Structures are given as C-alpha cells and as structure tokens.
Structure 1
Amino acid sequence: MIKFFRKIRQKLLSENKFSKYLIYAIGEIILVVIGILIALGINNYNNKHLNKEEEQAILKSLNFEFRKNKKDVENVLSDYQDYLTSTKLLINLVGEKNEVLSSHNTDSLIERSISYYDYSPSQNVLSDLLSSGKLKLIRSDSLRLKLFQWSSLMSEKREDWDTLDDFLQNMFMPYLTKNASLKNIDSYGFLKWKEKSKLNPKTEQMFSDIEFENNLDNHAWSLTNYMITLENLNNTLDKIIEETSISK
C-alpha cells in the first residue's frame, strides 16, 4: 500500500502537477489522521472494556470480603453484649448482703465480663486497592466515600480498643489481682482449673468496696463505647455490601 501511494506521488511530481500533488498529499494526511483516530478509539474502547471487567472483579472481591466481615462483627457484638450484661449484673450486686451474693456465681460473672477481644476484620482487598491506586477504577463516588468512611471508623475502633484494653490491664486487673482469686476466675475461662484456690479468698468483700463499683462502671463504659463503634462499622458494612452487590 505504501509503494502504491509512493508511485502516485512520483507520477504527479514527474508530470509537474504540483496542485494535484498538494491536494493528494492533504488527502493522504487526512487518511492517516483518520486512521490514528480510529486506532485510538478502538484502544480507548478496549481499555474501557478491560477497566469495566476489572471493576466488576474488584466489586465482587469487596463484596465477598465485607460479607465475611459483617458475619464476624455480628458475632463480636453478640459476645460484647454478653460481657456488658455480666458487668451490669455485677454492678447490681454491689452493696448486697452475703446471702444474695452467695446465690450468684460471681467468679463466673467476672470471667465473662473481662473475656473481651478485639474485632480484626479482613482488609486485604481494600488495602490492595489503596496501595495499588486501583480504587479509581470504582466509578461510584458513593462507594469510594463509604470505603474511606470504613477506614476512618477502623482508626476510631483502634482508639476505642486501646481505651478498653488499657483500662482493664492497668486498672481493673491490678485491682482483681489484689482482691480476688484469678485462679478461681480463670477456672471458668480457657484455663478451666479443676480445683479452686486453697487460699479461700474473700471475694464477697469486693462488693462492699466503692473502688470495685467504680472499676465495673468504667469497664461498662469502655465496653459500651467500643460497641458503639462496632455498630457504626456494621452499618457501614451494610451500605458497602449493598453497593458492591449492584452490577455497574
């Protein structure tokens, strides 16, 4: 084809038909430009098609990851409701007589109250999107905003967890270490001691101590504060799952 056009140019030049050659040259340039535009259009179409396919794969992966996270956070919230319930039962027992205290398994209630753990959702897909810059492939501004909200709430969750854990480890546990038998308490946890402490600790005395009540109150506050953040995460999970379930 190139040889064909070259022969036409040479013929026009040899016949000294410059005006016709100029028209021909302009026409040839126009054809080249049209060819380039067509090639660019095809390339853009292919890129958009590939980007759309990659976006669909991203949405599918996000949906799978966040569905798992939702199942996990609901289990954690259920456990934390149990921890809070046990803590409130203990607070209600403060100031009661020994006859009332003896009708409750206070060691078991304490063990349940302090058996907390942190919620650690999977974030592999989201982390990869943020580090690779592929988040821009998601066309939904609303979904991108919710993913950023999720990241912000995760930072808040870490702060609330640190508050909960710091108080228990540095305030409540030292108090229990001095005034209760951790062995008796742990017999209802994963240690499952078969025998109680031979030292016969006077656990019921704690229920006449204002410091014990204050520790329980602070612990209840920390548990509730953490649960509020988990609820916010759960609500955001619902929105992300909904948006990633819709075909774009």
Structure 2
Amino acid sequence: MIKFFRHIRKRLIGENRFSKYLLYAIGEIILVVIGILIALQINNWNNNELNKKEEALILKNLNFEFNKNKKDLQIIKNNYQRLIEATKQLLDLIGEKNITLQKHNTDSLISESINYLDYRPTENVLSDLISSGNLKLISSDSLRLHLFQWSSFINEKEEAWETLDDFSQNMMMPYLTKNASLKNIDSYGFLDWKQGSKLQTETKGMFLDIEFENNLDNHAWSLTNYLLALDNLETTINSIITQTSKYR
C-alpha cells in the first residue's frame, strides 16, 4: 500500500501536476491523521475495558471484605448491648438492702459489665486501594464518599475506645481492686476460676458508695459512646455493601 501511494506521488510530480499532487498530499495527511485517531480510540477503548474489569474486581473484593466486617461488627455490638444492660442492672441495685442484693449475683454482673472487646475490622482491600491510588478507578462518587466516611468513622471509633479504655484502667479497675475480689469477678470471665477468693470480701458495701454509683454512671456513658461509634460504622457498612452487591 505504501509503495502504491509512493508510485502515485512520483507520477504526479513527474507530470508536473503540482496542484493535484498537493491535493493528494493533503489527502494522504488526512488519512494518516484519521488512522492515528482510530488507533488512539481503539487504545482508549481497550484501556476503558481494562479499567472496568479492574473496577469490577475491586468492588467484588470490597463487598466480600465489608460483609465480613458486618458479621464481626454485629458480634461486637451484641456484646456491648449486654455490657450496658449489666451496668444498668448494677445501677438499679445502688442503695438497695442486703436482702435485695443477695438475690443477685453481683460478681457475675460486674464481670459481664467489664467484658470489653474492641472492634477491629479488616481493611486490606481498602488500604491497598488508597496506597496504590486505584481508588480513582471506582466510578461511583457515592461509593467513594462512603469509603472516605468509613475511614473517618474508624477514627471516631478509636477515640471512643481510648475513652473507654482510659476510664477502665484509671477509674473502674482501681476502684474494684480496692473494694472487691477480682478473682471472684474473673471466675465468671475467661479465666474461669474454679475456686473463689479464700479471703473475706464484702462487695455489698460498694452499693452504698456514691463513688461506685458515679463509676457505673461514667461506665454506662463510655459504653454507650462506643456503641454509637459502632452504629455509625454499621450504617456506612450497609451503604458500601448495597453499592457493591451486584459484584459479589
């Protein structure tokens, strides 16, 4: 084909037909430009197809990751609802007489109320998206927004956990260490002691102590604050799962 056009060009020049040669040259340039544009269009189409396939894989992986996170989150939320309920029961016993307190296993309630677990979601897919810059491959503005919100709510959860942990280590546990038997309390936890403390302990007095009531009140606030942070994460998880569900 190239030899054919070159032959025509030589013939036109040889016949001194410059105007026709000029038109031919312009036409040849136009054909070359059209060829380049077609090649670029095909290349862009191929790139778009590759990006779509990569986006579909990303969304599938996100859906899998956040479905797992949702299951783990529900377990943690259920645990904190039990913690809050146990704390409320302890608060209801404040100021009650021994005959009422003896009807309740207060060591078991205390153990239940301090059974803290921090929510640690899997973020391998999201972290890889951010570090690689492939977050831009996600075409949905709404989904990208929810992924950014997720990171923000994770930070809020961390702050709520630090507040709860700080209160536990600096207020609740020091008080219990002085006024109760931790061995008796831990016998209802994962230590599962088969025998309680051999020392004489009187935990009933705590229920007449304003400091214990205040600690329980602060404890209930810290637990509820953490649970609210988990609620925000759950809302975001549900949105992400909904927007990636077609790729699961």
The alignment's TM-score, normalised by the length of structure 1, stands at 0.96
Give 1:69 deviation, angstroms: 0.9
CA distance in 2, matches of 1:117, 1:60: 29
Q: Which residues in structure 2 correspond to 1:222-237 (within 5 Å)?
A: 222-237=222-237
Asked if residue 28 in structure 1 is aligned to residue 10 in structure 2, the reply is no
**Any idea what the Cα deviations from partners look like across 1:212-240, whole Å, max 9, x if unmatched?**
11111100000001111111111111111
Q: Which residue identity lines up with residue 10 of structure 2 in the other structure? A: Q
Q: Which residue identity lines up with residue 132 of structure 2 in the other structure? A: S
Q: Which residue identity lines up with residue 153 of structure 1 in the other structure? A: F
Asked if residue 208 in structure 1 is aligned to residue 211 in structure 2, the reply is no
Q: Which residue identity lines up with residue 43 of structure 1 in the other structure? A: N
Q: Which residue of 2 aligns with 1:190?
A: 190
Q: Which residue of 2 aligns with 1:167?
A: 167
Asked if residue 38 in structure 1 is aligned to residue 68 in structure 2, the reply is no
Percent identity reads: 69
Q: Which residue of 2 aligns with 1:142?
A: 142
Gaps in structure 1 of 5+ consecutive residues = none
Q: Which residue identity lines up with residue 112 of structure 2 in the other structure? A: R
Q: Which residue of 2 aligns with 1:176?
A: 176
Q: Which residues in structure 2 correspond to 1:94-173 (within 5 Å)?
A: 94-173=94-173
Give 1:10 deviation, angstroms: 2.3
**Any idea what the Cα deviations from partners look like across 1:117-166, whole Å, max 9, x if unmatched?**
10011111111111111111111111111111111111101001100111
Give 1:8 deviation, angstroms: 2.3
CA distance in 1, matches of 2:200, 2:91: 23
**Any idea what the Cα deviations from partners look like across 1:4-50, whole Å, max 9, x if unmatched?**
32222222222222222211111110110010011011111111111
Gaps in structure 2 of 5+ consecutive residues = none
The CA RMSD over aligned residues, in Å, is 1.1
Q: Which runs of 4+ in 1 moved over 6 A?
A: none
CA distance in 2, matches of 1:88, 1:166: 20
**Any idea what the Cα deviations from partners look like across 1:173-227, whole Å, max 9, x if unmatched?**
0111111111111111111111111111111111111111111110000000111
Give 1:171 deviation, angstroms: 0.9
CA distance in 1, matches of 2:7, 2:33: 21
CA distance in 2, matches of 1:187, 1:200: 16
